[in-house]
Amino acid sequence: GAVVSQHPSRVICKSGTSVKIECRSLDFQATTMFWYRQFPKQSLMLMATSNEGSKATYEQGVEKDKFLINHASLTLSTLTVTSAHPEDSSFYICSVGGYEQYFGPGTRLTVT
């Protein structure tokens, strides 16, 4: 299956700052990548679908100006959390693939 990496694996930032999370598909050309958020003991919540070369598609209730997504190439998508607040603290995971979705290892964001 596809190998997906995320960077950083953990990040702690202060409230009001911005954080960029990278998702790389190492051996799969991904025209589409998915970004999820997962709170403790809860399931994955789809935030947005990242489309290579075009705008991302955001799920209802997800602020596109706060969660900026850039899918610059077939192997890289980035999620930038702007003006982060403590309530943005969560586990962010990306995935690629068709019916077999392959997930990255996740990025744990803590906003203090």
Partner 1 sequence: QKEVEQDPGPLSVPEGAIVSLNCTYSNSAFQYFMWYRQYSRKGPELLMYTYSSGNKEDGRFTAQVDKSSKYISLFIRDSQPSDSATYLCAMSGGNFNKFYFGSGTKLNVKP
Q: Which parts of this chain interact with partner 1 (CB under 8 A)? A: 1, 4, 6, 32, 34, 41-44, 46, 49, 91, 93, 95, 98-106, 108
Distance CA 72, CA 74 (A): 7
Closer to partner 1 by Cβ: residue 59 or 68: 59
Residue 86: is the preceding peptide bond cis (ω within 30°)?
A: no
Q: How far is the CB of 11 from partner 1 (least distance, A)?
A: 14
Nearest to 101 by CA among 2, 31, 9, 24: 2
Closer to partner 1 by Cβ: residue 82 or 102: 102
Helix (H, G, I), strand (E, B) or coil at 21: strand
Closer to partner 1 by Cβ: residue 74 or 82: 74
